[in-house]
Structure 1
Amino acid sequence: MLSLRGLAVLLTSASLCLGAPSKDCAFKPKETIAPPRGWVKHSSPNADHNVVLRIGLPQPNFHVLEQHLYEVSDPDHERYGDHLSKEEVEELVAPHQESIDAVDAWLSSHGIAESDVTRSPAKDWVTLKIPVSLVEKMLDTKYHVWKHTSSDDYLVRTTSYSLPSDLHDHIDVIQPTTTFGRFKGAKSTFIFDDEPESSVSDATKSTLAPIVNAASGVTVDASCNTTITVTCLQQLYNAVGFKPKAKGNSIGITGYLEQFANIQDLQSFYADQRPDALNSSFKFISVKGGLNNQTLAEAGAEANLDVQFAFGISHPIPGTFYSTAGRPPFIPSVGTPTDTNEPYTDWLDFVLSHPNLPLAISSSYGDEEETVPESFARRACAGFAQLGVRGVSVMFSSGDGGVGDGDPNPATQECFTNDGRNTTKFIPGFPASCPFVTAVGGTQNINPEVAVSRFFSGGGFSNYFKQPTYQKVAVEKYLEALPKGLYKGLFNPEGRAFPDVAAQGDRFRIFLSGRPVSIGGTSASSPAFTGFVALLNDVRLQNGQSSLGFLNPLIYKNGGAFNDITIGHNAGCGTPGFNATAGWDPVTGFGTPNFGKLKGVVSSH
């Protein structure tokens, strides 16, 4: 129901708009983009095609939330670890009542009732499902069916939309309008084992002497140079013998795009690599209709990889797998399916509405930053900040296309801007470029551990987000050592730099559809790193301390607690990309975790 103020706004607007056009009622462009690279107009959607429209209202106090985030995440601040509650966060991101009333009045003027809308707990998002013909009227625009030429994907989108002038200050963003992101998993590559009945001991059997890793000084089985297992990661990252036992700990994995984590495969993996975890499983949560198909033949390689290694490393810490319904394929000739947004925002809506969340969460999905309009990327990034200030550590894979567009083959990458000018430029990934998440790059080999080379660890500099204070010293040191003029104009040296850290990302042995598989990608690096974050949370909880929450300020003040990776590069866009080097670099960040050192770091704050 509208408030009295809202009713007054509605009556005032109606009286203005029924007469001669006024400056308050005149439509003013809100967002305009160039036709996106790789997409062509295909047709017009049916007038009754449904659109799930999301309206983001301003968060006028987000700067206050951001200040809280940096204070509670800075290990040198007196408030370190003093995370906020769900209710405190919602109060900080709530829009002004004036904005709520103005938007309500606008919706009501188009015949949309309160019962037709869904609101986020903080009322900063309004969601409604309406025909595209009504959306076009409300936004003074024209939608088209767009076809992606190389994949045959279809989307119903527009390249511009407008709002009445008096609404511009009350609405940050409306989607789906100009978002053409194809939201995909980091490109995992895998090879089926020729010996499906072999055990891990057979698969990794080696007559070679154990290897002493030069960076960490730990001893690692020689077989880990060809096959990565839970034991390999425990050895390499100095966590052998640690047993989690704190109460209240938790770890989570996000799953999208009809990826199902198969429990039978998980049991096979546990029997193979973690027999003490046999007969344990994870909590399944469906988001927006996400399914849980346990048919063995339909197991998801990405989902299986994520849960097997994240939960295998962190056992017996309770695990949760979120299955979020992916963007449904739009087929122009079939009925009127519903068009929706990138599913990570659906997941964010869901988890932010719940009081108790996993303390460490990994996601191996993303887009090219330029395919996500900046206004929408900023709102999604703000959602990750809300998780961080509540004590949740959020990890994202940095991607597998080096400095390029996500295509792991540098020869076929298209490194052009999406602004209509087709300027050659490196293509950062999102959400890895969000300054409020921890981006994880990929490594391989044991001694020395190097930047992964079968694909290339995603990394670089955001074109949307400025460089946060926590990383300026480390990034400036890297840039000062970069040959003068190298890649000038190809990247934004003032942007948020990523990745922050790295972990092994190739030759992971998992089980898929009942068979052992060798799999690789930074999609392996993120869940592996997250498993160790869960162990570090356990250290703190055992000491009566809070969870780690947003990790980056801690990481950038303790770079020496990571195994520095100094060999390798991340080719793309017809270039060798950036080089891994001493200290932080935009290939492997500060390097891979040394749990023995990090355990001391997190205990001391």
Structure 2
Amino acid sequence: MRRATLLAAATLILDASCAIVQKRAPTNHGWERRSLTPKDNSIKLHIAVRHADDGEAIERQLALASDPNSPSFRQHVSAEEAARLSEPTRENVHEVEEWLWEHDLLEKASLFGGIFEIDTTIQQAEQLLNTTYSTFSDGWKEINRAELYHLPKAVADCIDFVTPTTSFPQPGDAEQQEHAKELLRRSGHIFKRQQNNTECTGADGLATPSCIRRVYDINFDGLNYTAQPNRTTFAVYATESASFNNSDLQAYLREYNPAAAQASASYELVGSGGVPDPGIAAKFETSLGTQALLGLAYPEVQNGIFYNYGGVFGPEIGQTYDNFVTFLQQLLSNETVPSVISITESANENLFDPDYARRLCLMMAQIGARGVSLLFSTGNNGANGQEAGGEHKTIFEPKFPASCPWVTAVGGTTNIGDEEAAVNGTIPIASSVAITASGGGFSNLFARPRYQANQVQSYIDQYVPKTYENESGFNSSGRGYPDVAAFSTQYPTFVDGFMLPIGGTSASTPTWAAIISLLNDYEAFHGRPPLGFLNPWLYSLNGTGLKDIVKGGENVGACSAAQGCMLEKVLGYNTTEGWDAVTGLGSPRFRELVRVLDGGRIGSDEEFTSVVSSAAAEITATATTSDGAATSTAAAASRYENRVQAAFLGIGALVLAAV
């Protein structure tokens, strides 16, 4: 690349001497342009240099470490090894460096994990990208974005994305913010009404930590396990830059986990912190996530980290940078990482540049290879999208990052007394934390991964109408989600000193995160590594350790009759036996999952011996070799002792497999 003779000539005039590649924002991003962004505003650019193999090494490493049939199962890599997996070619780096040098930005740039980070001004960013930045508003928040930018083709061929530019966050709704405020004003009355409810029963039962532990059989009774406070760490990522309120957290713990309150259990803050007023709905989400996770994980797991880099996908005025990229980079650079992270943020896939979404997905695969379980909520609009004003969309809108095949996507259920899918009709509480329907569907960006191929294809063949492809934009070859689900309504949550029950997949996600942290601590006690990327393991269980959710209607999402929406004309997916696009594989059965991790063992050695002896007696009575001779009890017992489920489930199936 030749050095430009005049920077001014390169600012907003396309260079005729080389080909230009344009990047455009989606036309229906839902944000209103308000003004041009001041030229002297600061901005942090992230420029992702393309991997030498388009990320194949990362995906291959993660597949080996997460496949239960692999000899490398749960052999996680270090920060240094993960960085090597993402190294771009020297040629690509050199091309981008020359481009930055031409614009006097190379000295401001630092490179980590194949991504350049550059602190500069809006004016210099506009010159670099041949673009114009504007300030956009959704009626509540303001962000800086460029709806169109240009790159020399030689540079475009070497990079995956430049951000923040054409990818937009999910727009909020000012009316819903006011509704949320009104709920807080009335929260005292709501609390009095909820106090009359029976905990843990029926549709109105409060989902307290003790209730969740009882329903999902979360206990270590009789197991060879001793808790140790600092052995395992869980984390929550901030929703829309909202910092958690420790006073609210302690009020919640005093009410629902007094031992944690007595110990002043809390979170370590990592990052730059939140913005002054992120909005009441974001406060609801952050309060819900931090309280539900810590309340459920304590006392066995006590180390919590709260990551807040100013928001997810939506940088605020004065903080113009891509917060989520910063977060992922920090995770990849840290030698010590939490075992599980709950992230309750998602947006429609079509709001993101496809190359940007794919690169973020690869970064999350790298983090999974480090041994971190990334859990994402699937949203609360069912299979469909929803306009900012609440109007239901008729086309299916997959959610990202939940649609990334290298994370675990969590859907929602309701009626804790007899779990069923959370579908349209559940009373919404507040904005994005209002459960209306468990998010689920099929990605338009990511192909179906091998680990779920059989279950998802079977579901599509049997239960998804052929007409959906034309009527809804359904992608029959896309990654299916959610992967799992959990209870997602009536979580008591303290916000600004008041308690009210709220829900959504923003509740089910930290619930699963707490359960994974407990399983990881159990594994750590036994000298075994963390579970890491969960999906191949979960799908390999064939239902063991999971409660299949078969009740509930279609996840059609919110529908307003006042806006002409008729539910009978809105498409959605149904719950079925096995995996479905509403609740995935189902909700957790904690003790069964522990048994699986123990290779079928449960309780004391005496109990295990008793179970194996019973199984061996049955095998002796029924199993025969091919020539008709009875199989010896001792041989049968030793053959099955170390088989997953041998001392737990499917003895009959094991007998059949023996003959």
Regarding TM over 0.5, the answer is yes
Pick from 83, 86, 103 the counterpart of residue 93 of structure 1. 86
1:525-558 per-residue CA deviation (whole Å, 9 max, x = no partner) reads: 1001111111111221122111000000011111
2:156 counterpart residue number:
168
Q: Is 1:442 aligned to 2:412, yes or no? A: yes
Change beyond 3 A, Cα 1:109–1:407: closer
Residues 23, 148 of structure 2: 8 Å contact kept? yes
Residues 284, 323 of structure 1: 8 Å contact kept? no
Q: Is 1:363 aligned to 2:363, yes or no? A: no
1:335-393 per-residue CA deviation (whole Å, 9 max, x = no partner) reads: xx45333x222211222221111101101112111101111111111111111100000
Cα distance in 2 for partners of 1:328, 1:547 equals 33
Identity level (%): 31
2:119 counterpart residue number:
129
Change beyond 3 A, Cα 1:178–1:47: same
Q: Is 1:285 aligned to 2:283, yes or no? A: no
The equivalences for 1:86-235 within 5 A come to 86-114=79-107, 116-120=108-112, 122=113, 124-148=114-138, 151=139, 153-182=141-170, 194=188, 203-205=196-198, 221-222=200-201, 225-235=204-214
Cα distance in 1 for partners of 2:191, 2:376 equals 33
Change beyond 3 A, Cα 1:128–1:141: same
Pick from 49, 62, 66 the counterpart of residue 69 of structure 1. 62
Q: Is 1:56 aligned to 2:48, yes or no? A: yes
1:257 counterpart residue number:
240
Change beyond 3 A, Cα 1:503–1:205: closer
Change beyond 3 A, Cα 1:276–1:168: same
**Is 257-266 or 552-561 further displaced after alignment?**
257-266
Change beyond 3 A, Cα 1:292–1:204: farther
The equivalences for 1:315-330 within 5 A come to 315-316=298-299, 317=301, 318-326=303-311, 327-330=314-317
Higher relative contact order (CA 8 A, sep 6+): 1
Change beyond 3 A, Cα 1:512–1:181: closer
Residues 269, 511 of structure 1: 8 Å contact kept? yes
Aligned residue-pair number: 554
In the TM superposition, what is the alpha-carbon distance from 1:77 to its structure 2 partner? 1.1
**Is 171-180 or 257-266 further displaced after alignment?**
257-266
Cα distance in 2 for partners of 1:183, 1:22 equals 32
In the TM superposition, what is the alpha-carbon distance from 1:95 to its structure 2 partner? 1.2
Q: Is 1:245 aligned to 2:240, yes or no? A: no
Cα distance in 1 for partners of 2:341, 2:171 equals 18
In the TM superposition, what is the alpha-carbon distance from 1:65 to its structure 2 partner? 1.6
Question: Highest CA radius of gyration, 1 or 2?
Answer: 2
Letter in structure 1 aligned against 2:576: T
Residues 14, 130 of structure 2: 8 Å contact kept? no
Q: Is 1:29 aligned to 2:21, yes or no? A: yes
In the TM superposition, what is the alpha-carbon distance from 1:63 to its structure 2 partner? 0.6
Pick from 343, 353, 356 the counterpart of residue 373 of structure 1. 353
Residues 30, 168 of structure 1: 8 Å contact kept? no
Change beyond 3 A, Cα 1:303–1:39: closer
Letter in structure 1 aligned against 2:330: F
In the TM superposition, what is the alpha-carbon distance from 1:168 to its structure 2 partner? 2.5
Cα distance in 2 for partners of 1:378, 1:293 equals 32
**Is 178-187 or 28-37 further displaced after alignment?**
178-187
Cα distance in 1 for partners of 2:191, 2:152 equals 65
Q: Is 1:274 aligned to 2:257, yes or no? A: yes
**Is 520-529 or 132-141 further displaced after alignment?**
132-141
Change beyond 3 A, Cα 1:175–1:328: closer
Residues 30, 388 of structure 2: 8 Å contact kept? no
Cα distance in 1 for partners of 2:33, 2:218 equals 53
- Output the aligned Cα RMSD: 3.3
In the TM superposition, what is the alpha-carbon distance from 1:248 to its structure 2 partner? 2.5
Letter in structure 2 aligned against 1:506: T
In the TM superposition, what is the alpha-carbon distance from 1:447 to its structure 2 partner? 4.1
2:77 counterpart residue number:
84
1:176-216 per-residue CA deviation (whole Å, 9 max, x = no partner) reads: 2211223779999777654698799x55557xxxxxxxxxx
Cα distance in 2 for partners of 1:361, 1:75 equals 22
Secondary structure at 1:584's aligned position in 2? coil
Q: Which has the higher helix share?
A: 2
Q: Is 1:485 aligned to 2:478, yes or no? A: no
